[in-house]
C-alpha cells in the first residue's frame, strides 16, 4: 500500500474546503453564502487546531490542520486569474459546470524552477452546497502528495480509471476519512505523459453515496488535448506564435545559443524535431529538450523532458530518451496516440523526500497496461543509473 504523507496545510485560513464541515450552513433550499462560510470556517479551524507545541497526530479521521511557523509568517498563496493558472499548468482542469468559483491561487514557494517543478495551482469552488479544493503541479514525482490534507484515511487507496482523462486510461486513487466530525474525500491522479499531479478534495458532515470521481471527470476539458491555452514551450513564448507551417518555420524562431536536431523516438513513425533553449558548449547537449512532431500536416508541440543541470544531460538510445539525476531514473517514449511524450520508466530512491524508500514503475510498451512496480535493490538502481550514463547525449546544432 502506498504510504500517505502528511502535508502541512498552508491555506487553512483561506481554503475552506480541506478542513471544514459545510453541510447545514445556510437555508435548506439555498446555496450557502461563501463569505459567511469563510468566517464560519475560520472559527471552526481555530477550534480544531492542535494545542501549541503538540506535534502528535490528531488520530484517525480527525481533520486537524497543523498551522506551522511558515504559515504564521504570511500566507504564501496569492490570488491569480484563471488565465494565469492555465499559463502555469499546461493541462489544467476546468471549473465543473454549475460550480461557483471562490478563487484561483498560486504558491510559488512550493515550486522549484531548478528541478523543473512548477508553482502549485489551486482552485476552490462550491458545488451542490459543498466546497471543493483542486490542485495541480507540474514536474513533481508521481508519489508526491500535493493535496494538503492532514488526515488519517480510514478507506483507500481505491484504484480507479478516469473515464475521460488520458483518453480514458488515466489511473486515479480515492481515499475517504470518516470520523465523529464528518467525512473527507480525496481523489488523486497523475498525467504520466508530461508529469502533472492532480488532487481534488471535499469535506462535509455526510458524504455517504457521494462520488468524487464524477466531479474529477467533470473537470476534464478537451482543450487540454490541443494544449489550447496559448504558448506551451519556450519557442512559442519567445516567438509569440503557436502555429508553424513546417519544421523549418519552427527552427527560424530560435535565437542565438539555442539549438535543434532531429531524433527518432519509439512510438512515432518519422523524424521528431528536438529543440534546446540552452545548449552546453562542452558537448552541445542540454538538460531540457522540447519535442515537435508533425500532426495533421503541421508541427505539433509534444511537450518537454527535463533533466537536472549540465551534469545530467538528456540522452537518447534505441528510440528511448533518458533523464533524471543521481537519485531519480527516468526514461521516455511516445504515447499510444503518437503525439505526446510518455514516461516509460521512473524510479526514485527516496533520498530527496527523506523516506529512503524506492518508488516507481517500469513499462515495456506504451499501451498503459503493461507497467510493473519497481521492486529492485540499491544495486539494481545503481546499475540502471550506470547504464543510463553510458547512453549518448543528444547533440544539437547551435543557432548563431
SS3 at position 155? strand
| 55-84 per-position pLDDT tens digit | 343 333 333 344 444 444 457 899 999 999
Backbone angles phi, psi at 266, to 5 degrees: -55, 130
Pairwise pLDDT comparison (95 vs 9), residue with the higher score: 95
CA distance 313 to 281: 12
Tally of CB atoms within 10 A around 243: 9
- For residue 74, the model assigns a pLDDT of 52
Backbone angles phi, psi at 174, to 5 degrees: -115, 145
CA distance 12 to 66: 9
**Domain ranges across the chain:** 34-226, 234-398
CA distance 311 to 373: 28
Least confident among 7-16, 236-245, 303-312: 7-16
Q: Where are the alpha helices (DSSP H) in 49-133?
A: 69-72, 82-88
Q: 298-306 and 288-295: which strand pairing?
A: antiparallel
Cα angle value 291/297/298 (rounded, 5°): 45
CA distance 15 to 65: 12
Least confident among 36-50, 151-165, 207-221, 300-314: 36-50
Query: Sorting pLDDT into bands at 50, 70 and 90, what band is 366?
Result: confident
Give residue 56's Cα distance to chain centre.
29
CB 227 within 8 A of CB 243: no
Q: Select from 257, 262, 264 the least CA-distant residue to 281.
A: 257
| 80-133 per-position pLDDT tens digit | 999 999 989 988 999 999 999 999 999 999 998 877 899 999 999 999 899 999
Report the range out of 6-15, 22-31, 129-138, 140-149 with the highest average pLDDT: 129-138
Q: Select from 231, 238, 194 the least CA-distant residue to 399.
A: 238
CB 152 within 8 A of CB 143: no
- Average the pLDDT over 7-32 and give the result: 34
- For residue 231, the model assigns a pLDDT of 66
- For residue 44, the model assigns a pLDDT of 40
Cα maximum dimension of the chain: 69
Amino acid at each position: 500500500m502506498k504510504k500517505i504523507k502528511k502535508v502541512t496545510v498552508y491555506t487553512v485560513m483561506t481554503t475552506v474546503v480541506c478542513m471544514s464541515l459545510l453541510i447545514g450552513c445556510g437555508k435548506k433550499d439555498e446555496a450557502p453564502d461563501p463569505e459567511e462560510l469563510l468566517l464560519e470556517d475560520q472559527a471552526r479551524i481555530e477550534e480544531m487546531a492542535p494545542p501549541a507545541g503538540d506535534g502528535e497526530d490528531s488520530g484517525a479521521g480527525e481533520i486537524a490542520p497543523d498551522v506551522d511557523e511558515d504559515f504564521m509568517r504570511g500566507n504564501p498563496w496569492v490570488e491569480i486569474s484563471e488565465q494565469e493558472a492555465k499559463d502555469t499548468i499546461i493541462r489544467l482542469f476546468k471549473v465543473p459546470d454549475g460550480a461557483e468559483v471562490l478563487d484561483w491561487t498560486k504558491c510559488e514557494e512550493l515550486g522549484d524552477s531548478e528541478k523543473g517543478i512548477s508553482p502549485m495551482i489551486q482552485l476552490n469552488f462550491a458545488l451542490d452546497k459543498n466546497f471543493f479544493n483542486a490542485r495541480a503541479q507540474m514536474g513533481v514525482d508521481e508519489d508526491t502528495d500535493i493535496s494538503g490534507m492532514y488526515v488519517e484515511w480510514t478507506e483507500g487507496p481505491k484504484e480507479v480509471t478516469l473515464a475521460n482523462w488520458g483518453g480514458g486510461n488515466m489511473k486515479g486513487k480515492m481515499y475517504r476519512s470518516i470520523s465523529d466530525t464528518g467525512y473527507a474525500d480525496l481523489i488523486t491522479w497523475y498525467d504520466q505523459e508530461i508529469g502533472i499531479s492532480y488532487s481534488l478534495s471535499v469535506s462535509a458532515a455526510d458524504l455517504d453515496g457521494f462520488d468524487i470521481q464524477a466531479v474529477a471527470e467533470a473537470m476534464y476539458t478537451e482543450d487540454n488535448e490541443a494544449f489550447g491555452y496559448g504558448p506551451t514551450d519556450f519557442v512559442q513564448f519567445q516567438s509569440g506564435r503557436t502555429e508553424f507551417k513546417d519544421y523549418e518555420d519552427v527552427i527560424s524562431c530560435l535565437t542565438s545559443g539555442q539549438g535543434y536536431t532531429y531524433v527518432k523516438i519509439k512510438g512515432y513513425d518519422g523524424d521528431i524535431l528536438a529543440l534546446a533553449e540552452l545548449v552546453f558548449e562542452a558537448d552541445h547537449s542540454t538538460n531540457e529538450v522540447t519535442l515537435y512532431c508533425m500532426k495533421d500536416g503541421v508541427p505539433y508541440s509534444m511537450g518537454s523532458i527535463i533533466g537536472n543541470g549540465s551534469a545530467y544531460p538528456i540522452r537518447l538510445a534505441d528510440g528511448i530518451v533518458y533523464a533524471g539525476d543521481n537519485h531519480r531514473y527516468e526514461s521516455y517514449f511516445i504515447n499510444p496516440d503518437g503525439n505526446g511524450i510518455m514516461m516509460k520508466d521512473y524510479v526514485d530512491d527516496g533520498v530527496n523526500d527523506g523516506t529512503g524508500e524506492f518508488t516507481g514503475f517500469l513499462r515495456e510498451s506504451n499501451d498503459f497496461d503493461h507497467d510493473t512496480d519497481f521492486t529492485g535493490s540499491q544495486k539494481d538502481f545503481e546499475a540502471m543509473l550506470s547504464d543510463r550514463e553510458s547512453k549518448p547525449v543528444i547533440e544539437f546544432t547551435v543557432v548563431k
